[in-house]
Structure 1
Amino acid sequence: MQNIFDAKDVQQYIDRINLLTPEAQQKWGKMNAEQVLAHLNVAYSMVFEPEKHKKPSFIAKFLLSNFVKPKLTNELPYKQNLPTSPAFIISDERNFEEEKKKLIGNIQRVQQLGRIAFEGKEHLNFGKINAQGWNNMFAKHLNHHLEQFGV
């Protein structure tokens, strides 16, 4: 598992993102390249701008933290064509370069904040997550969608 808190690993993600083009064809899924970049940015928005997102009810958060969180924070890769949470569905057109720049900035921000900033950090939907869980969640999500586009 790559380390999103390590500058070298982050640069490898950035290099892969820079290989992505607006014309890239996905191997699976419905979103085009700019929509996937926007989709990836939602995860960071939930961390850095939680006020922009609807908070789950107590019951929903209980279910998410006990049944979804373990699958997102472990080291097993995501399977293709998994259902997407409504908050992550991007169906409108986006600006490829703006979304790419934003994603790279988000990845760099996480790396610069470092592991300590994410140790026990609260997630809007899942409650507290340790730094390794945050790492796994971000790394798996990035890898899944970059592989979706062959980069």
Structure 2
Amino acid sequence: MENVFDAKDAQNYIDRINKLTSETPGLWGKMTVDQMLAHCCISYEMVYEPEKHKKPGSIAKFILKSFVKPKVVGEKAYTKNGPTAPQFIVTERRVFEDEKKRLIGFIQKTQQLGTSAFDGKESFSFGPLKSQEWNNMFAKHLNHHLAQFGV
């Protein structure tokens, strides 16, 4: 698995994103390319702009930590057409270039902050995570959706 904290790997993600156009079709799923970029930004918004999202309550957080966390932060890839958490669903169209720029900025910021900034950092839904868990979560999500759009 790629390392989102490594400059070369982060640049690889950016290069893949730069291959997308506003007309790139998805190979599966319902999202348009602009919606996919906005969807991918949500993981980063929960880190860098948490005020945009409602935090899960204690019961929901327990369920997320117990059942969802291992699938999200583990190394096994996501399956096609898997379930999407409600807060990650993007139904309205977005401005492709704006979402592309935001996602690239989040990838760059994460890489520049590095592993030490994420080791033990509190996750919106899962509590404190190790930097490797953050890496797995970000890398798996990016790989899944960039593959969805053929890049």
Give the whole-Å Cα distance in 2 for the aligned partners of 1:119 and 1:105. Answer: 21
What residue is the counterpart of 1:37 in the other structure? Answer: 37
**2:64 aligned partner, one-letter code:** L
> What per-residue deviation string (whole Å, max 9, x for no partner) do you get for residues 6-55 of structure 1?
00000100000000111111111100000000000011000111122111
What residue is the counterpart of 2:11 in the other structure? Answer: 11
Give the whole-Å Cα distance in 1 for the aligned partners of 2:129 and 2:51. Answer: 19
Give the whole-Å Cα distance in 2 for the aligned partners of 1:150 and 1:10. Answer: 18
**RMSD across aligned positions (CA):** 0.6
Structure 1 unaligned regions, length at least 5: none
Give the whole-Å Cα distance in 2 for the aligned partners of 1:5 and 1:36. Answer: 22
Give the whole-Å Cα distance in 2 for the aligned partners of 1:52 and 1:150. Answer: 30
Q: What does 1:129-148 correspond to in 2, within 5 Å?
A: 129-148=129-148
What residue is the counterpart of 1:117 in the other structure? Answer: 117
**1:134 aligned partner, one-letter code:** W
Give the whole-Å Cα distance in 2 for the aligned partners of 1:38 and 1:113. Answer: 22
What residue is the counterpart of 1:71 in the other structure? Answer: 71
Which SS does the other structure have where 2:150 is aligned? Answer: coil
> What per-residue deviation string (whole Å, max 9, x for no partner) do you get for residues 92-140 of structure 1?
0100000000000000000000000000100111111100000000000
**2:89 aligned partner, one-letter code:** I
Q: After the TM superposition, which segments of 4 or more aligned residues of structure 1 sit over 3 Å from their partners?
A: none
**2:34 aligned partner, one-letter code:** E
- Quote how far apart the aligned CAs of 1:71 are: 0.6
Which SS does the other structure have where 1:128 is aligned? Answer: strand
Residue 53 (str. 1) matches residue 64 (str. 2): no
Give the whole-Å Cα distance in 1 for the aligned partners of 2:8 and 2:28. Answer: 29
Structure 2 unaligned regions, length at least 5: none
Number of paired residues? 151
Give the whole-Å Cα distance in 2 for the aligned partners of 1:103 and 1:49. Answer: 13
What percent identity do the matched residue pairs reach? Answer: 62
Give the whole-Å Cα distance in 2 for the aligned partners of 1:119 and 1:51. Answer: 22
**1:104 aligned partner, one-letter code:** I
Mean alpha-carbon deviation: is it higher for 45-54 or for 98-107?
A: 45-54
**TM-score, normalized by length of structure 1?**
0.99
